[in-house]
Chains A and B, each alone.
Chain A
Amino acid sequence: MFVRPFGCWAILILGSLANPSSVYGQVAIPAVRLQARVMAAPANAPVNDRDHAARKWVRGLIQQDLNAIQTACNLNPKQAKELVDLIEAEWRSKFAAVFRSYTEANQRGGVDFEFRVETAIKTWLRDVESITEEQRSAWNYELDSRNALRRRVVIGKMVSDAERKFGLSSKQMKEVEALLQERWKEAWWIMYRNGTTPETKFAWISTALSDAQRTAGADPSGIRQEYYTSGGAVDLPSKSLADRFAIAGVSSDESIPLQPQPAAPAQREP
């Protein structure tokens, strides 16, 4: 009487040794399989399409900045080799958080690839001792020029908004632009890049308004339409994970392992 149930349990336990997933039930199976796949995959390999796209964009941006560095700083072959080797060895660890946040972000915004790449390249340029101060300052000038353009764009958008909200004249627009330039914050660019034009506060520009405009206040409706659409052209360059970084015809050392590409198109996570 007692032998039979014990026999069933024994068969179950023995069966589970042969196929452990059968014990955990249906819910546990995918997790076990996923774990096995991740373990089997090479270290730091892209986990899905979004991760893969993020890595390609970051590589593309780095490669373009390397080209721009060569144009602005004119590196010699030794400097170029040192820099490109350093970047090839370090790029994954520097941008792990960027890839992760882009992979996790299901909605717009949240990841500013460009700003992160610029910051990292600044650090790398500092780390390569053979690069001179002059060359670094030439690169800093380039970055300042980029930031100036971004500032013009964001403040211009804010002025255009203020024009609609407060009914500004062209003269007032110039005055408001000057007032906003004084208040510039780097965060405004990040905000704009993520799809939101920073709000122009009444208090910031009230000195440029007439009495009637001050009394009327802001028109919240505005004559502008904003909406979100799914998909569109991306302004980020892309570089394959299988291609080495290069600057001035010098590629990264063959001894530095490249990141393996995903073997098959990865399934997007739900």
Chain B
Amino acid sequence: MFTSRLETSPLCWLRAIAIVVLLAAASHAQAVLAQQPAVQEVKAAKALAKDDTKKAEDPKSDKSGKPGEKIPRAFDRNRPEPEEEVEAPKKNAMVNFAMDPDRWADVIYSQLGGAEATFEQQQRRRVRSTLNRIELICTIDEQIREKVQATAELEIQRFKTEVLALAAQGPRNPTQDEYSEFYNKVFKLTERYRMQNQPNGTRKMPLWQKVLFSNLSEQHKQELEKDNQKRAEYRQQIVRLEVLQRVSRRLGLSAKQRDKLEPYTLSNTEAWKTLEQAWATLQQFPEKEKRDIFTPEQIQELKKPLEQSDDLQLVIREFGDDL
């Protein structure tokens, strides 16, 4: 029956062929659709890998630009700003000597015997020690104590600010001349604190000491000055005795001779600060005094110059102190 209908109607044939063709096209389309995501994934992965390697090679590459459309840097309006323009070192700059503010700050604090923290610690200790010493001689109110300490703290902070300001001005790649010039500024800034270590006559009194002094009575000031003198005299006496001991070793003095010589050390204290000074002074003693103190052998010995040695020798600089 069916065959008879096919045979009978050519339109049916056409319909059947069209259906078969449509079915075949649909199944092909489905297969193609099923394959497409896998291909896209592989392509995307390849593209990503390409980007990664490119980024690794050139981290500052233009983000918006496509690989084929790279704009030359000179014409690129959106090129990133350089982080910092580093000044090229001058031709006569000191080799391997690049400085920055931190390093300059270290240089400044090293003038005062250490780092920033050491400086702060030293200053605070200095105040505390002075106050403790004064309290042994006269009473200080808690209020004055706090006031003095607060002043000292302010001075420390002010100095730290000054250090930062100066360090920021320091040359990056200094030539020898620039370095020397800047170092003079450093020297000047630190002078105030270095001068604290110098004998009383030459140093400038720090503010906290002025505050402290202004709160002391005249009587207390005198007592403190007296104590200060006694302590200084003790130190100087020990220096003189040491020189006398060295002279005694050099000349082989007896106990009696040392006793005779000791008053001379008091009459001219400046001459008995070092062995060289004392030796020169003794050489210039009047003959009569020489004969009174020394034996003929010692007088002969005194005519000789002091021998020099290239051994390392300890040098101690004695300083005055606060109050």
Binding site for B on A (CB under 8 A): 53, 61, 64-65, 67-68, 71-72, 107-108, 114, 141-142, 145-146, 149-150, 152-153, 156-157, 159-160, 163-164, 166-173, 195-197, 210, 212-213, 216, 219, 221, 223-238
Query: In the assembled complex, which residues on chain A have CB atoms less than 8 Å from the CB atom of B297?
Result: 67
Contact at A108–B275, with CB atoms within 8 Å? no
Name the interface size band of chain B.
35 or more
Q: Are A149 and B301 in contact (CB under 8 A)?
A: no
Q: Which of A72, A213, A236 contacts B249 (CB 8 A)?
A: A236
Determine the main DSSP class of B at the interface with A.
helix
Task: Choose among B251, B310, B314 the residue that contacts A237 (Cβ–Cβ < 8 A).
Answer: B251
Do B312 and A108 touch (CB < 8 A)?
Answer: yes
Q: Nearest residue in B to A111 (C-beta to C-beta)?
A: B311
Specify which of B122, B129, B137, B309 is in contact with A234 (CB 8 Å cutoff): B309
- B273-323 interface (Cβ within 8 A of A): 275-276, 279, 295, 297-298, 301, 306-319, 321
Q: Would you call B136 and A169 a contact (CB within 8 A)?
A: yes
Task: Write out the residue numbers on chain A whose beta carbons fall within 8 Å of the beta carbon of B315.
Answer: 226-229
Report Cα–Cα, A149/B240, bound state, in Å: 12
A-B contact count (CB 8 A): 172
A231→B254 contact, CB < 8 A = no
Say whether B132 contacts A167, CB under 8 Å. Answer: yes
Given contacts A65-B252, A167-B132, A221-B122, 4 further A-B contacts (CB under 8 A): A160-B234, A166-B129, A212-B131, A225-B317
Q: Do the beta carbons of A226 and B279 come within 8 Å of each other?
A: no
Contact across chains for A153 and B317 when beta carbons are under 8 A apart: no
Please determine whether B234 and A226 come into contact, CB atoms closer than 8 angstroms: no
How far does the Cβ of B151 sit from chain A's closest Cβ, in whole Å?
19
Residue of A nearest to B231 (CB): A170
A223 touches B306 (CB 8 A): no
* Interchain CB contact under 8 A, B252 and A64: yes
Whether A228 touches B317, Cβ cut-off 8 Å, given contacts A65-B252, A221-B125, A233-B307, is no
Contact between chains at A64 and B132 (CB < 8 Å): no
Residue of B nearest to A114 (CB): B249
Q: Is the CB of A226 within 8 A of B312?
A: no
Which residues on A sit within 8 Å (CB–CB) of B55? none
Complex contact A223–B319 (CB within 8 A): yes
Q: For residue B244, which residue of chain A has the nearest CB?
A: A149
Contacts of B250 in A (CB 8 A): 235-237
For A164, the chain B residues whose CB sits under 8 A away are: 321
Residue of A nearest to B230 (CB): A170
**B242 located at the interface, meaning its Cβ lies under 8 Å from any Cβ of chain A in the complex:** yes
Asked if A170 contacts B234 (CB within 8 A), the reply is: yes
A170 vs chain B, min Cβ distance (A)? 4
A212 is contacted by which of B135, B252, B255 (Cβ under 8 Å)?
Answer: B135
Shortest C-beta distance, B308 to chain A (Å), equals 6
Return the 9 tightest CB-CB contacts between A and B, nearest first. A64-B252, A156-B238, A167-B129, A145-B255, A170-B230, A195-B314, A108-B312, A235-B246, A233-B306
Given contact pairs A153-B242, A169-B227, A221-B113, A235 touches B247 in the complex (Cβ within 8 A):
yes
> Which positions 45-92 of chain B face chain A at CB distance < 8 Å?
none
- Across the interface, do B311 and A108 meet the contact criterion of CB distance under 8 Å? yes
Interface string of B256-281 (1 = CB under 8 A from A): 00100000000000000001100100
